[in-house]
Amino acid sequence: MSYKPVLVHVDDVQNAGVGYAFAAELAQAEQAHLIGLASSGVSRFLRQTVTVNDAGPSMAPFLDTLRGRAARVLDQFERVAAGFTLAGSERRAVDDEPRYSLSALARYCDLCVLNQADAVQGASLPSPRLAAEVAKNSGTPVLMVPRAQAPAWPLRRILLGWNGSREAARAMRFALPLLRRASAVDVAIFDTVALESDAGGELRPVTAIGQTLARHGVRAELLQRDSAGDAGAALLALAGERGAQLLVMGCYGHSRLRELLLGGATRTVLKSMTLPVFMAA
pLDDT (tens digit, 9 = 90+) per residue, 218-257? 999 999 988 777 889 999 999 999 999 999 999 975 444 3
| In 124-183, beta strands by DSSP E | 142-145, 157-161
Whole-structure pTM value:
0.89
| Span(s) in the chain for CATH 3.40.50.620 | 5-145, 157-280
Q: What is the predicted pLDDT for the residue at 236?
A: 96
Between the CA of residue 10 and those of 40, 47, 93, 280, what are the distances in Å? Answer: 10, 21, 9, 20
Q: For 40-88, write each residue's pLDDT tens digit.
A: 988 765 655 555 555 556 667 778 888 999 999 999 999 999 999 999 9
CATH number of the domain located at residue range(s) 5-145 in this protein: 3.40.50.620
Top pLDDT among 108 and 57 is at: 108
Q: What is the predicted pLDDT for the residue at 255?
A: 43
Which positions ≥6 away from 1 have C-beta within 8 Å? 110, 176, 177
Q: What is the predicted pLDDT for the residue at 156?
A: 95
Q: For 163-191, write each residue's pLDDT tens digit.
A: 999 999 999 999 999 999 999 999 999 88
Class of 157-280 in CATH: alpha beta
The mean of the pLDDT values for the chain is 87
Q: Which residues pair with 14 in a beta bridge?
A: none
